[in-house]
Amino acid sequence: MKMPNISDKTGSVTTLVKAFVANSPVAYIILDRQFRIHYINDSFLQLRNLDRDKAQGELCYNLSNGGQMCSVCAVSRAMQSGHREHILRKDVLPDGRVRYLDDYAIPLFQDEEGTSDYILEIMVDRSGEMNAREEMKSQFHELIRTLSSMLETKDRYTATHSAAVSRISLKIAQELGLSGKELELIEIAANLHDLGKVMIDSEVLSKPTKLTLDEYDQIKMHPVYSFEIIKDLTGFQQVKEYVLCHHERFDGKGYPNGLIGEDIPLGARIIAIADAYDAMTSSRPYRDKLSHEAAMAEICRCSGTQFDPVMVDAFLRTDPQTRYVPRIAAMNPHAMITRQISDHPVTQKKTVTDISELFSEEHICSEIIKETPIAYALLNSEYEVIYSSGHFRRIFKYADPGTKCFEASGFKEKCENCPVMQCLASNKMEKLEMVRIVEGKTRYFLCYALPVKGVNGDDYVIEILMDHTKEELMQRQMRMDYQTIIYVLSQLIVSSNPVSLEKLKFLHRICNVLCAEAGVSAEERQDILAAAALCDIEMIFGHEDEQNSGRILGNLSSLSKVQEILRHHQERYSGGGYPSGLSGDQIPLGSRMIYLAHWYFVRQSQYGHTAAMWDILMDKEDQFDPELTAMFMRRFWKGIFNTGTPLQGHLSAV
């Protein structure tokens, strides 16, 4: 790609590229064929917390791999292939922090023999996106453990059965040579396949005699219930399908949808065999367990009717009595490269090639412009595009020279809080988060504006756009999943004790009003309302036990603040409550709100609205936060006391 002829306006191309590279949020390194670093920019030093004097001139693997060549290296691959190479890398720094990097390596020069003299390495930090992805994955696994603990309390057999089905399913999947990702999905689904049984009456689950047709119909609904519980969680679509379909039969006579053959998801066909084997070899109240041999014979008999014959063959090969050892699943060729970064002392200072000489080479400038995997453009003081990179033009279809940058983004006027305008005014780098609609889709960018002086003293700006749409969407999905988790748990509460439904709605309304009166932040309000929805979570266990809410929600890091509110929602303002005897502002605000709302709900149910309101007034300095009590009275006393209007009716109109 040939650089545009812009040197007569901005100075030399070299000056422009040096300004771009030196200040870019992307890390740039230039290495020779001996892996010696000839140039690094500040972004690389910041990624690794290094000093320039220590890093420049050093061998790259001395800085990153304790003096040993990396086993998987984009630079080495580019040297061997003579072409651009790319890997996704996870670096664990000496202080334990983790960086996720897109690592690109590009040969810069070609001699007569076709070998490269230098390698340009470009690193784009993807930690935000990948950390969000890892957090989502972690939360999903934590939710599995949380829901499994509920299931264990309601039906201990079902929980231990799920663990066994998971182990057997993994053996079958490994024998089939499935990938690491597929193994993970099957393991998750196997652990969740009977989750819907928490929605079924415990007496039906543990009935020691034969089920009636109606009771059997209830049991047959558990795959649907399992699916309904997790259906709104983002991601893991295959898990949801495996859970829903694990009682389908290969001959089409299964439930809930009567799927046939390979229309049944692969994971569900695997789980079906593991589920049947463990059920047959476990004792139940209504029958004794079968022997291993009898269960295996039954599975063989049902091959081709109830079960997929290919899955049955794989299951038989995992039988330890056949002295067969399952194969280890093949490594995913697209797996992320993980590298433990170590502190390695620099043995001596190396000779460094003059950086100006490197940047005087037109080919280096051209490759930097062409290969940088982010969007950027050069703008004049009138916001006109003088030059734009290929990535910029791929994002914004109307970025021809002379186009105003905001027009390229689809706007008729300059953007609000425009970083380019701020950059021209301050003569320093400016940064702003931007939202753009590109081809009908919302995209999120970090926009950097970098000032550049032209040869005649004119002002120019390099605009750099870092696309973080994936990260933003994942954060939004996490917030949606947070609400879904609350909904799932609250529905389980209501299913265990329908009386809780009225109470949960009531507490939600009261706390919502108090949050508005107290002016709490949106994030804090979310946690308080979540705690209000879950304050009866111990009902899932059939009895009130304050420690159960901690045991359940303690597994969910996203609900840690909610758990803290729940833990203390029986504390008294004077300090006479439980479990910790906290007093005053030591008690979380949400706990104080829920205690007041809960207390009123109980008292008005027993003695009516007026008596409950008087009791709150008489006891406000002992049990209740006086300020919250004043807010409560201000909203609900006037016009209610004289008319006798129930507080619930008033709240429904709020």
**469/476 Cα distance (integer angstroms):** 11
User: Is residue 648 very low, low, confident or very high in pLDDT (cuts 50, 70, 90)?
Assistant: very low
Residue 642: pLDDT band (50, 70, 90) is: very low
In the chain, how many H helices and how many E strands?
30, 11
**pLDDT range class, residue 323, cuts 50, 70, 90:** very low
pLDDT score of 518 more than 60: yes
Contact 119, 31 (CB under 8 A): yes
Check whether 328 has a pLDDT greater than 50.
no
Note the pLDDT of residue 434. Answer: 82
| Residue 457: CA count within 13 A, CB half-sphere | 0
Rounded to whole angstroms, the Cα distance separating 60 from 62 reads 5
| pLDDT surpassing 90 at residue 306 | yes
Q: 55: left (phi > 0), else alpha (psi -120 to 50), else beta?
A: alpha
The answer, yes or no, to whether the previous bond of 579 is cis (omega within 30 of 0) is yes
If you average pLDDT over residues 497-525, what whole number do you get? Answer: 86
pLDDT of residue 385: 87
Beta bridge partners of 385: 379
- Peptide bond before residue 256 is cis, with ω within 30 degrees of 0: yes
pLDDT tops 80 at residue 295: yes
Mean pLDDT of 303-326: 79
Fill in the amino acid letter for 246.
H
Residue of higher predicted confidence among 183 and 483:
183
Mean pLDDT, residues 383-400 taken together: 81
What's the confidence (pLDDT) of residue 224?
A: 94
Identify which has the larger pLDDT, 210 or 303.
303
pLDDT score, position 485: 72
Please indicate whether residue 462 or residue 268 has the higher confidence score (pLDDT): 268
Q: Is 42 exposed, middle or buried (0-12, 13-18, 19+ CB in 10 A)?
A: middle
Q: Is pLDDT at 58 greater than 50 in this prediction?
A: yes
State pLDDT tens for residues 76-103: 999 888 888 999 888 887 777 888 888 9
Question: Is residue 346 within 8 Å of residue 307, measured between CB atoms?
Answer: no
- Rounded to whole angstroms, how far apart are CA atoms 337 and 100? 10
Torsion of CA 268, 273, 276, 282, to 10 degrees: -120
Specify the higher pLDDT residue, 305 or 13: 305
Q: What is the mean pLDDT of residues 378-396?
A: 85
- The residue whose two tokens read 């997790």 is 230
SS3 106: strand
The 8-class DSSP code of residue 397 comes to S
Quick one: average pLDDT of 428-434?
Answer: 87
- Confidence bin at 497 (pLDDT 50/70/90): low
Angle of the 127-154 helix axis to the 469-496 helix axis, nearest 10: 10
Across the chain, mean pLDDT equals 80
Parallel, antiparallel, or unpaired: how do β-strands 337-340 and 85-92 relate?
A: parallel
pLDDT at 11: 56
Closest CA to 168 of 287, 314, 283, 297: 314
Could you tell me the pLDDT band of residue 374, with boundaries at 50, 70 and 90? confident
Q: What is the mean pLDDT of residues 326-338?
A: 46
**What average pLDDT does the segment 136-143 reach?**
71
pLDDT, residue 6, reads 47
Q: Is the dihedral of CA 423, 429, 432, 434 positive or negative?
A: positive
Residues ≥6 apart with Cβ < 8 Å to 133: 474
Is residue 604's pLDDT more than 80? Answer: yes
User: Quick one: pLDDT at residue 550?
Assistant: 53
- Tokens 């079958």 correspond to 172
Which of 615, 598, 613 is CA-nearest to residue 643? 613
Q: Provide the pLDDT for residue 355.
A: 56
SS3 content of the chain, % helix, strand, coil (to 5): 50, 15, 35
> Which residue carries 């982010």 as its tokens?
374
pLDDT tens digits for range 563-577: 889 889 989 999 988
The pLDDT of residue 162 is above 80: yes
Where does the pLDDT of residue 534 fall: very low under 50, low under 70, confident under 90, or very high at 90 and above? Answer: confident
DSSP assignment letter at 426: H
Residues 6+ apart with CB under 8 A from 253: 305
pLDDT at 635 > cutoff 80: yes
Minimum mean pLDDT range among 35-49, 176-190, 340-354, 456-470: 340-354
Query: At residue 3, does pLDDT exceed 70?
Result: no
pLDDT at 192 over 70: yes
Number of residues written out for the chain: 654
Strand partners, 561: none
Spatial CB neighbours of 75, under 8 Å, sequence gap ≥ 6: 31, 35, 60, 85, 105, 119, 121
Decide the pairing of beta strands 27-32 and 375-380. Answer: unpaired
Give residues with Cβ within 8 angstroms of 581, minimum separation 6: 571, 575
pLDDT of residue 99: 85
For the segment 222-261, what is each residue's pLDDT rounded down to a tens digit?
A: 999 889 888 877 767 899 999 999 999 999 999 999 999 9
Q: How far apart are CA 203 and CA 220, in angstroms?
A: 15
Mean pLDDT over 481-507 rounds to 74
pLDDT score recorded for residue 255: 95
- Rounded Cα–Cα distance for residues 492 and 198 (Å): 7
How far, in Å, CA of 486 to CA of 529, rounded?
Answer: 10
How far is the C-alpha of 427 from the C-alpha of 449, rounded, in Å? 10
pTM above 0.85, yes or no: no
Q: CA-to-CA distance for 395 and 429, rounded, in angstroms?
A: 23
The C-alpha atoms of residue 585 and residue 211 are separated, in whole angstroms, by: 55
| Phi, psi at 440, each rounded to 5° | 80, 0
Contact 250, 307 (CB under 8 A): yes
Across 179-212, b (16+ Cβ under 10 Å) vs e yields beebbbbbbbbbbbbbbbbbbbeeeebebeeeee
H or E element that contains 607:
helix 589-607
pLDDT at 156: 63
Q: Report the SS3 class of residue 342.
A: coil
Residue 488 has pLDDT above 60, yes or no: yes
Contact yes or no for 467/445 (Cβ under 8 A): yes
The pLDDT of 70-74, averaged and rounded, is 85
* Structural contact between residues 513 and 554, judged by C-beta atoms closer than 8 angstroms: no
CA 128/CA 114 separation, integer angstroms? 38
- Residue closest to 59 by CA, chosen among 83, 43, 75: 75
